[in-house]
Structure 1
Amino acid sequence: MDANERPFRTAHTRQRFCALVLLALLAPFAASAAEKDSTLTLGLIVAGSFEKVVEDWRPFTEALAKELQTPVKVLASKNYADISSALMEGRIQMAWLNNKLAIDLVESDRATVFAQMVRLDGSRGYRSVLFARKDGPIQSLADVLGRPGVYSFGSGDKKSTSGYLVPNYYVFAKNKIEPQKHFKQITHANHLDNFLAVADGRVDLATNNTEELPRYQAEFPDKLARVRVIWESPLIPNDPVLYRKDLPTATQQRIRKFFIAYGRSDAEKAALKAINGLSGFRASSNYQLRPVVDLELFQMLTTAMDGKANSPERFQSVMDGLTKRAARLDTVLNATRLESP
């Protein structure tokens, strides 16, 4: 070998060796990144115990991962806005949310409703309720409305449909009552904490909903026996399940098909029952949000009308905004109406 050629080949060999070492070192990171890119994350709202919700959903998410041949992670939070923001920002790709938060997501064109929960009794809706202690002074809604400044009130998360939006409209707005002025104290908590607060006598009145009642009966029968329901709302559509619109169409179809078909075997039925007493999921679309959209817009209109006398200019500005939003939502909801079962 020529003496001038040896250093070149030696340097060339050294470069190849370094490149192979570098590739070997980077391989685990590349695999990790690829796995991360292919992972799907399901967001879950937590009304009670965080650990129990995650565990109850585990058989479902494991089956979903097997069906899609893709890792499926879970992101759960008691703060409903956390899940909504994560779906909006793309940190999760599908989520169980309430109707109120789903409105914001479909309105922003980031996500779409594809399924709706169905209860064991076949019902497609639930009701907001107000709890009071059986041995307490509140025996009816009239007792609450007729005694301002006397009682403490446990309200729901401001993003909650049944814990905040529905009772705020049907109980307070329609009776021309401002909760902040009517109650001596207001706290905000999730459904489980509000239920326990009433049962233990820490608040006089609190919001909740009928879909939580079977859980309380199973887990806290003695505490449930201490409370009474003094008011029920009109029917609210069961919670929707959404996925991001930028998911590949084929992936959306496979996710939708899995959700709708799940619940045929005994093991799957047991898993669904553990998930808040479900019998399955039915195909749905953005149009299922129509009743809650109407409720939210009407509540905003009522609030605007109350302030009309104080500021006519402000009222007109609010009305213009409401008109535009109503038209935009009407388009978004009706676009999927023909797809609704």
Structure 2
Amino acid sequence: MLRRKFLGVIGLAATMLFAGTAAADSHVKKTLNFGIISTESSQNLKKVWLPFLEDMEKKTGFEVKPFFAPDYAGVIEAMRYDKVDIAWFGNKSAMVAVDRSGGEIFAQTVDVTGNPGYWSLLVAHKDSKLNSVEDILANAKDLSFGNGDPNSTSGFLVPSYYVWTKNNVDPKRIFKRVLNSNHQTNLLAVASKQIDFATNNTENWSRLEKTHPEKLKNLKVLWKSPLIPSDPIVWRVKLDDETKSKVKSFIMNYGVKGDDVVAEKEKLAALDWAPFRDSSNDQLLPIRQLSLFKDRNKVAKDEKISAEEKAAKLKEIDAQLDSLNQKMAAISKKSS
């Protein structure tokens, strides 16, 4: 059902013509568009996502259509304009979707091995003279760097703070060349020595072991970040309650109970996941904190603004950080 072609113009005309009777037609199913961020090629993503989405279609009774875009922003914008109803995001892109596109986190992925999250990486070719962040900084002017999508948590935000901000450097200024690509493209570019090093994460590293094992042998890890919360699943806040109830029931029970548990777990494993767990927008709090720390550092180093303007901006950011810290402390106290 997911693979059939839709006659857009004719379908639209028919919808308009029969708008008055569609609500009463029990055979007309609601369509849900499911957004999938571009961590690798859409061809690879389709192989692992379609079986899951087909099960979602079968068990919810909705027509479920995958939505792919060339970058993370495409899925964020699609949700903003109601072209995507549910989406798999990283935490950084989810934060943008929540703030600008009317999104809301309702579930969280779980690593297939049971890890509570994943890690950002900096990787290089196994024969590279680079072996650490110190080596990267010492040889920066001669290096080409594969940065991640600007809306990627592990490919952009986390290394931006923990590697570049903490070392008071701007990648665009210190490296010979900086390119922004998805995780898979960056790994393959490093493996073939097209670029010197790149950002990535442990989940995509595992994916490459399945899709291009011969390429993985040519890679080594230079740096590993602190733990990043597992990816969220986001829906549009404006979805009706009945739809939300059916979708959440499917997500939370998938691979947990029912006659198809074994097959469902295998389909989740193809995505490198175990069954989902409940979540909310609160999982973004540490990501918001990272983003604000990065903004604060940028403002503090900005020599183009007056001392008065700088002080005002820093005060505003510090107030936001204080509010975040209080909320995180309250959540921690409640869960302990």
**TM-score interval, smaller chain:** 0.7 to 0.9
Aligned residue number for residue 5 of structure 1: none
**Does 1:291 find its partner at 2:309?**
no
Aligned residue number for residue 250 of structure 2: 258
Q: What are the equivalent positions in structure 2 for 1:77-96 lying under 5 Å apart?
A: 77-96=69-88
- What number of residue pairs does the alignment pair up? 316
Secondary structure of 1:266's match? helix
Aligned residue number for residue 264 of structure 2: 268
Task: Measure the CA separation in 1 of the matches of 2:42 and 2:78.
Answer: 17
Q: What are the equivalent positions in structure 2 for 1:139-150 lying under 5 Å apart?
A: 139-150=131-142
Instruction: Indicate which of 134, 139, 147 corresponds to 1:155.
Output: 147
CA-CA distance at 1:116 after TM superposition: 0.5
Gap regions ≥5 residues in structure 2: 1-12
**Does 1:120 find its partner at 2:120?**
no
Q: Describe the shift of the 1:328–1:38 C-alpha distance in structure 2 as closer, same or farther (beyond 3 A).
A: farther
Task: Measure the CA separation in 2 of the matches of 1:38 and 1:340.
Answer: 38
Does structure 2 conserve the Cα–Cα contact (< 8 Å) formed by 1:42 and 1:93?
yes
Instruction: Indicate which of 80, 94, 106 corresponds to 2:98.
Output: 106
Does structure 1 conserve the Cα–Cα contact (< 8 Å) formed by 2:29 and 2:61?
no
Q: Describe the shift of the 1:158–1:36 C-alpha distance in structure 2 as closer, same or farther (beyond 3 A).
A: farther
Does structure 2 conserve the Cα–Cα contact (< 8 Å) formed by 1:285 and 1:337?
no
> Per-residue CA shift, 1:158-195, capped at 9, x if unaligned?
11111111111111110111111211111111111100
CA-CA distance at 1:36 after TM superposition: 8.7
Does structure 2 conserve the Cα–Cα contact (< 8 Å) formed by 1:99 and 1:240?
yes
Q: Describe the shift of the 1:324–1:141 C-alpha distance in structure 2 as closer, same or farther (beyond 3 A).
A: closer
Aligned CA RMSD, in angstroms, stands at 3.0
**Matched residue type, 1:293:** R
**Matched residue type, 1:303:** K
**Does 1:63 find its partner at 2:55?**
yes
**Matched residue type, 1:91:** K
**Does 1:199 find its partner at 2:191?**
yes
Aligned residue number for residue 30 of structure 1: 18
Instruction: Indicate which of 267, 270, 276 corresponds to 1:281.
Output: 276
Aligned residue number for residue 20 of structure 1: none
Q: Describe the shift of the 1:328–1:84 C-alpha distance in structure 2 as closer, same or farther (beyond 3 A).
A: farther
CA-CA distance at 1:301 after TM superposition: 0.7
Task: Measure the CA separation in 2 of the matches of 1:243 and 1:93.
Answer: 6
Task: Measure the CA separation in 1 of the matches of 2:334 and 2:96.
Answer: 20
Task: Measure the CA separation in 1 of the matches of 2:124 and 2:64.
Answer: 41
Bigger shift: residues 55-64 or 235-244: 55-64
**Matched residue type, 1:69:** G
Bigger shift: residues 116-125 or 51-60: 51-60
Gap regions ≥5 residues in structure 1: 1-24
Does structure 1 conserve the Cα–Cα contact (< 8 Å) formed by 2:156 and 2:199?
yes
Percent identity among equivalent residues? 36
CA-CA distance at 1:337 after TM superposition: 9.2
Aligned residue number for residue 7 of structure 1: none
Aligned residue number for residue 13 of structure 1: none
Secondary structure of 2:67's match? strand
Secondary structure of 1:234's match? strand
Aligned residue number for residue 226 of structure 1: 218
Secondary structure of 2:49's match? helix
**Does 1:301 find its partner at 2:296?**
yes
